[in-house]
Each structure stands twice: as structure tokens, then as C-alpha cells.
Amino acid sequence: MWVRGMALLLFFAAGWAAATEVELEVGGTSLRYDMPAGYVRVSEESPALTQYLQAAMPPENRLVEAFYTPADIQTLLAGGGAVKDTYFMVQANRSLESHTVSASDWRSLLVQATAVMDKVDVNAQLAKDGERNQRMSEAAGKPVRMELGKVAAPQVYVQTDNEARFVVFIPLTINVDGEPLTINAVCAGAMVLVANKPLMVYAYRASSTPADIETAKQALGSSVDALLALNGSTQRSP
């Protein structure tokens, strides 16, 4: 039962209050991150959950860290209902994280990425990963099948030389050992250069009402702004 609940972690999360500073390791560089008050690092609290979340992600991305409350993990491990708060995730691209990316190169990459973002067929891209269900099943120790509804292309709502923030809606049904669960999530995400390391930062909510969308955007904004403030927002150029 707990595995089905854990699947919801991709789409849940938290409020933002006084934070605790933690370190994240990205390509040999330690980055400072403000963990929201009352939250824990998934990697420390539940290695099994970390493995499951990683299994759900594209293989080219690495889960740097995820954050949620101890109460939420107890709900999930007990096989309870949906977690109600915002859920945060930081990811790195495996092929890029060991490199030092200059500000000018990053600006060029952002321009290229955002120019086509609203034309991306998300379902077609995700369909290329034909081993996701197998990875998730192995991590869960039971059969898992994740099916996406029609995912609209991400919509950019903030863009600067250093970052692009976007929102995407994710209709999802996950079936674990014959028990289906359907949600309609919203994800606010950012592609951002932090201390010359490209990162992807996400804030998820399990429903996509106007209030949920705004909450996800605000949570993402707080996370990214703090990340840049702690590590220096000015990037080196060649």
C-alpha cells in the first residue's frame, strides 16, 4: 500500500517558513539550499523512497534531493491518502553536472530551450523511456504501471539570462499491484544556473486549481531565489 502512496510524491508538497540550510552535492560542488521548516531530506529519511523516485525519473537525470515532511512520509508508508502540501525536488542532468558552464553558454542554452518549449510533445518524449515501469516495479518490489494522460507543453512564465520558470499540468494514473490511483497535478519548474552548475528545481501539487498553480509558483520562486542568494546569482563568463 505504501508504494502507491509514494508515487504521489512526484506531485505533492509544502508551505514555506523559516528554513534550515543544507548542502547539496552537484558535480563535485557543494551548493547551499534552504530546506523549508518542518521538512526532511528524502535521502536521509528514506533511502527506499529515494530509489523509487529516482526510478520514476528519466535515466539522464539524477535526483539531487527531494524534501517533504515527516508526517507526509508516515502517511505514505502507511498507505494513506494523498499528501496535501507542496513537494520539492532538485535534479541535475548527468552529462552536464560535472562541467562548469559559463554564463554566456547558459544564456544560449536557455534561449534555445525556451524557444521550443511550448512546442514540445511531452508524451512523445516520455514514451521514449520504455523501461520506467520496470525500474519502478523493481524499486517497489511489486508491479507498477504509470500512465500519463495528455500532458500539455510547458508554459514559460519567467525568463531571465540566468533562469527560466515554467508550469506544466500532469494528468496521471499509477497502478500498483492492481490498485489504480488518478491525479491531476501541476508542476512549477525552473532551469537555473547556480554557481555554474545547471539545475532543475521543481515544486509539485497534486491538484491544479488556480490556487494550486499560484501556490506552486510561489513555492518554486522562494526555493530558487534562496538558492541563488545563498550561492551567488552572478555566474562567471569566459
pTM confidence score: 0.87
Exposed (0-12), middle (13-18) or buried (19+): which is 181, by Cβ within 10 Å?
middle
Q: Which residue has the cell 547558459?
A: 106
In this structure, what are the phi and psi dihedrals at residue 226, rounded to the nearest 5 degrees?
A: -70, -40
Best-predicted range by mean pLDDT among 46-55, 85-94, 172-181?
A: 85-94
**Residue 8: its pLDDT value, please?**
41
Sketch the domain layout of the chain as residue ranges.
2-229
- Is the pLDDT at 188 greater than 70? The verdict is yes
Exposed (0-12), middle (13-18) or buried (19+): which is 77, by Cβ within 10 Å?
middle
- Between 6 and 71, the more confident residue is 71
Read off the C-alpha cell for 116: 521550443
**Residue 10: its pLDDT value, please?**
40
Q: Which residue has the cell 523549508?
A: 36
Per-residue pLDDT reduced to its tens digit, 32-52: 999 988 889 989 998 888 898
The domain 2-229: what is its CATH number? 3.40.1000
- Is the pLDDT at 2 greater than 50? The verdict is no
Beta-strand pair 40-41/87-93: unpaired
Average pLDDT, the chain: 86
Estimate to the nearest angstrom the gap between the alpha carbon of 143 and the chain centroid: 23
**Residue 17: its pLDDT value, please?**
43
**Residue 81: its pLDDT value, please?**
54
- Give residue 77's pLDDT band: very low, low, confident or very high (50, 70, 90): low
The whole-angstrom separation of Cα 90 and Cα 95 is 16
